[in-house]
Amino acid sequence: MTDRYDPHRIESKWRERWLQDKLYAAKDDDPRPKWYALTMFPYPSGDLHTGHWYAMAPSDAAARYRRMKGYNVLFPMGFDSFGLPAENAAIKRGIDPMEWTYANIEHMRGQLQVMGAGFDWDREVVTSDPDYYKWSQWWFLQLYKQGLAYRAEAAANWCPGCHTVLANEQVVDGRCERSDDIVERRFLTQWFFRITAYAEELLNFDGIEWPERIRTMQTNWIGRSEGAILSFGVDVRGVDESLSVFTTRPDTVYGATFMVLAPEHALVERITTAEQRPAVEDYRLQASRQTEIERLSTEREKTGVFTGAYAVNPFNGERVPIWIADYVLVTYGTGAIMAVPAHDERDFAFARKHGLPVVPVFDHPDVDIAAPLEAAFSGGRTMVNSGPFNGTPAAEAVRKVIDYAVEHGFGEGTVNYRLRDWLISRQRYWGTPIPMIHCDEHGIVPVPEDDLPVELPKNVKFDPTGQSPLTQVEEWVNVPCPVDGRPARRETDTMDTFMCSSWYQMRYVDPHNPERPFSMEAARKWLPVDQYTGGPEHAVMHLLYTRFFWKAARDMGIVFGDEPMLRLFNQGVLLGPDGNRMSKSRGNVVAPDEQVSRWGADAFRCQLMFVGPWDQGGPYNPTGMQGIVRWLNRLWNLTVEPVEFADGVDSRELRRATHKAIEAATNDIENFRFNTMISRLMEHTTAMHRAREAGPVNTEAWNEAVSAALRLTAPVAPYITEELWERAGQRYSVHLAPWPEADPELTRDDEIEVVVQINGKVRDRLTLPASADEAAAKQAMFASERISGLLEGKEPRRVIYVPGKLLNIVL
């Protein structure tokens, strides 16, 4: 059979065969070492786009490589299927969210199979299945028992477009991460997960190989800073509490010339004088109306209003005015600061604008502290204007001031984090119902575990009221109290979908377990994930939440080890052919289905991997597809066309090409360098082609070359290699065949080319036997007419020899 390469015929054939044979099913009782490869599961938006292919096809290649290397590979796939688009489809077009979602899943599952990815479909997880979200609810109850899930009133981020609150992580530049609406602040009672309990541990990335980019982003998001809480007195009649401030510079406390509270600070109401009240009220109202965007657009102009009240510095008894200003955030620290204009830029700007005093409390070699300051400065030498602390060197200042504060009972050293608890309540229908019941008598009562899942009701009205559609389903909301059966009401909020994706990797290990989220044996067998791949857009949401979730589960004794994913690789962003982000409005979208129907899935996979380094992303090059198609055709022809064999033909050159390809390709795929890997595979097919055209080939060397080429190409182009493997008379399946090993003896060259430089410029090239040593190379160099001509009898000062590569004559 010498017919031509027809991707469509062979791709559908093998796709069906693999599914039928469950070729990629991971077996729990396989004794070989396990490898858990995971790529982020998609939201079932309805269509698999090129971004999905770009994320998943290389992940698949890496998983296939591990399988061929002899690992028992778990490579599962599922759908993150709760979320707003389904509900928006319901509102806009009157379609049931469930029908919409499951139709999309059906379609996308087929598209994923077209890709030829070796997913274990027996383990598919769909987060909107009651079988799955039963366990999301179970996890919620466990977190509740541990005190890690709690309900609190707080200023929440309200997205007017999505009609729901958002976690801080989902607010980007004051806008909703999903809908881009400007986020409002609302005071609401909501459910939170206490991720801050793990703030310190989440800063530690020991034992995991994650990109620095992601570690830095998480570290910045958590935002640890060391400092102190200091208590100032409040000099207002009838107010008998102190004013706590967080500061990273307690050593500047003698320079605190005023205090600033966030406009929303609880104390403002009680300390404001009658005279100042109108101005304060006005400012607070203004601030509350301002969106985050407007706050940013004020160009850091330091606005604020005096409350009329004074605080007392506990260190020196000095009275300082208390202001309110929106540059102090109620959500950070204590929502109040001691302002030290001499040593803080923002305080300096505020003091200058409002005519407040500036008192330096450190001296500095470059600053005349007797004169009015031009700007705030840090990095002082010793303390000044600081009573008993005068003369204290900067290095000891913080510690001494904190010790003093502790001794006198008005402060202590502390660590503050920017990270806020994770707000998980959503006022939406299409999510996991929070399994709680509100009873007038017993308060908030968990749904008993035996009653899980709390299933979503059907036939719900979708009017965007700002209230969850669930509130209107009376027969669902009204339930007996689990304690005594009296009438009570269900919690109508559903969970943030990031909750569903925080533990999905655990469910894959035992996806059909009706008794538990997964068995201990399965967890011990498969967890944690060895290699996780996905987009960097999840750096501070999914990837932080899932680490928190894992650590909480570990502390409950449910999983073992400190981290859920040992290695993480983030692919870059694939751009349109014009170098811009793919978008419908730009008209630069590359549709995978179209590419597949033109070139086949193998070619599309390879082209995506060939365009550049995977972690860097970059523009998709549609014309470059030609090169991939030519290469696959050549591989096809080399395997199926008749070859003229002869015994006794020198096999060294062909074998060298084969073993060099094995060595290079292995090294590349090991490091996710698919672009250079494919280059090496192309070189190998070219070498095979030349060998065949040059005359009869050595039978064994040829067979070795074909076998290696097919196995090395199998991870990136699974269909064509399977077909050719069969046509080459090999045993099904190439994807279970062992990865070829390079023999270092065979990769060695017979001859080497040594470059001769004079003062670093190439002047000649010497071809020498591979065995040539330094002495031999130098001898050949001096024997070169070209070189001796250029030297004109001059004596080299030095000759540098790089073994097997280069000689550099220094004159």
**Binding to RNA (CB under 7 A): which residues in 715-754?**
753
Q: What residues are paired with 412 via a beta bridge?
A: 229
User: What backbone phi and psi angles, to 5 degrees, belong to 113?
Assistant: -70, -35
- CA geometry: angle 170, 617, 714, nearest 5 deg: 115
Closest separation in Å from C-beta 555 to RNA = 27
CB of 340 to RNA, least distance (A): 7
* DSSP class of 735: G
Choices 43-51, 102-110, 188-196, 604-612 (CB under 7 A): range interacting with RNA: 604-612
CB of 531 to RNA, least distance (A): 20
Nearer to RNA, 336 or 437 (CB): 336
Residue with smaller CB distance to RNA, 460 or 724: 724
- Which segment (57-65, 157-165, 215-223, 773-781) binds RNA by CB under 7 A? 215-223
- Interacting residues with RNA between 278 and 317 (CB under 7 A): 295-296, 298, 300-302
Q: Which of residues 630-649 bind RNA (CB under 7 A)?
A: 630-631, 633-634
Answer for which of 16, 173, 403, 463 binds RNA (CB under 7 A) is: 173
Indicate which single residue of 423, 678, 691, 772 sits in contact with RNA (rule: CB under 7 A).
Answer: 678
478 binds RNA (CB under 7 A): no
626 binds RNA (CB under 7 A): yes
Tell whether residue 6 is a contact of RNA (CB under 7 A): no
User: What angle, rounded to 10 degrees, do the helices at 699-713 and 625-640 form?
Assistant: 140
Distance CA 290, CA 182 (A): 11
String marking each residue 324-363 x if it binds RNA according to CB under 7 A: --xxxx--xxxx-x------x-x-----------------
- Tell me: cis bond preceding 76? Omega within 30 of 0 counts: no
Amino acid letter for position 619 = P
Decide if residue 802 touches RNA (CB under 7 A). Answer: yes
Work out whether the CA dihedral 14, 18, 20, 21 comes out positive or negative.
positive
Q: State which of positions 237-266 bind RNA (CB under 7 A).
A: 245-249, 262
Whether the CB-CB separation of 287 and 263 falls below 8 Å is answered with yes
The beta strands (E) that lie in 264-380 are given as: 305-312, 319-324, 336-339
Give the total residue count for the chain: 811
Residue pair 735/644 in contact (Cβ under 8 Å)? The answer is no
Name the residue nearer to RNA (CB basis): 351 or 481: 351
Which range of residues in 36-44, 209-217, 353-361, 652-660 is near RNA by CB under 7 A?
209-217
Residue number with CB closer to RNA (113 or 721): 721
DSSP letter for 310, please.
E
CB of 220 to RNA, least distance (A): 5
Beta-strand ranges (E) seen in 179-327 are: 184-193, 224-234, 243-247, 258-261, 305-312, 319-324
Q: Please tell me whether residue 286 adopts helix, strand or coil conformation.
A: helix
> Could you count the other beta carbons within 10 Å of the beta carbon of residue 406?
13
CB nearer to RNA: give 390 or 759. 759
Q: Quick one: which of 465, 759, 779, 788 contacts RNA (CB under 7 A)?
A: 759
Closest to RNA by CB, 137 or 252: 252
| Shortest spacing between CB 729 and RNA, in angstroms | 24
Q: Is 731 exposed, middle or buried (0-12, 13-18, 19+ CB in 10 A)?
A: exposed
Q: Evaluate whether 674 touches 668 at the Cβ level (below 8 Å).
A: yes
Give whichever of 416 and 492 is closer to RNA, judged by the CB atom: 416
Binding to RNA (CB under 7 A) within 684-713 occurs at: 686, 689-690, 693
With CB under 7 A as the contact rule, the residue among 673, 692, 711, 735 that binds RNA is 673
Binding-site size for RNA (CB under 7 A) equals 84
Q: Which stretch binds RNA (CB under 7 A): 56-64, 314-322, 683-691, 736-744?
A: 683-691
Nearer to RNA, 27 or 765 (CB): 765
CA dist list (Å): 260 to 61, 357, 377: 57, 14, 20
Using the contact rule CB under 7 A, the part of the chain among 385-393, 431-439, 596-604, 674-682 near RNA is 674-682
Would you say 492 and 190 are in contact if contact means Cβ atoms under 8 Å apart? no
Joined tokens for residue 618:
């970059």
In angstroms, what is the minimal distance from the CB of 670 to RNA? 13
Closest distance of CB 8 from RNA, Å: 17
Contacting RNA within 413-432 (CB under 7 A): 416, 418
Using CB under 7 A as the binding rule, whether residue 12 contacts RNA is answered as no
Question: Tokens standing for 164?
Answer: 């729901």
Structure tokens given for 166: 């958002």
Distance CA 292, CA 474 (A): 37
Pairing of strands 487-490, 478-480: antiparallel
